[in-house]
Structure 1
Amino acid sequence: MESKQYVSHINKDAVTASNFLLLPVHDNDHWTLMVAYLKHSTWYFFDSLPNPMHRDVLPQVINHLHEETQGSFHTDIRSWKVQEAEGIPTQTNGYDCGMFICKYMETVIQPNSVKWELLLDLQAEMPKFRAELAFMLLCSTLKR
């Protein structure tokens, strides 16, 4: 876990000022997403290819985050409840998990911008979302 450069920005002030923390997790060639809802002391786990084995990494990630961010959280994040995100679109192939995680993060960041009921077949929209992401990355690179 080479995450020190990412968790170094997590401190008591950042946690106090935030509502949630996004943790994309890559394990065994699969991306999942953990979201810490700080005010509710709850973890939500998003998995586009639901499999109980994908949850196995959660305690390890939470323990690692706890160790690397000592004193940043108001409570012990290892004791927080973990809930599966329900009613989310899932993938039907073996390679779009990263794109699904990007879309899940978008819904957490902008909860009113994406209507899951309109995107239940998110898989069919993946070519469009890939193109949108590529365009956005290209535009942000050109601005530099």
Structure 2
Amino acid sequence: MGSILMLYASMTGNTELMAEAMVDYLETLGYEVTTKTFDFDPITPEELLGYDGILIGTHTWDDGELPYEVEDFYEELDDVDLTGKKFGIFGSADSFYDSYGGAVDLLWDRLHQLGAMLVPNKLKVDLEPNAEDIQDCRHFAEQLSELIAGVIQE
């Protein structure tokens, strides 16, 4: 069907659970999904060009900031033309903080400014995903699939 990159940063495992739910769903649709983490798999923005769609997940650090392991990648996004590339941005967050899921917002805004096509909504889950959140993750993955297929547009 196509290829999707799942790229995420997860400190407590919550964003990882979200990513796993999306990967499982996309594989049932027939996609070839490559999973990488910011912690262990070096990646450059140029590598994004080799995929039909990209899902990026991140937790939010401190009061709305990108995690350290995502910062270099974020800054290097300007080095590649992402016009028309299809993305979905998601992450776990903690509603205790004033800036709920700020890292998700930062990535979404940056990719939008760079001309990427984005799943229209960002997916944020408060702490550990429950059964309803996992369903939301599957629906979010389905929206990326529809964006890739041209069924929905940004």
Q: Give the TM-score normalised by structure 1.
A: 0.31
* Higher relative contact order, chain-length normalized (CA < 8 Å, sep 6+): 2
Structure with the higher strand share, 1 or 2: 2
Structure having the larger proportion of residues in helix: 1
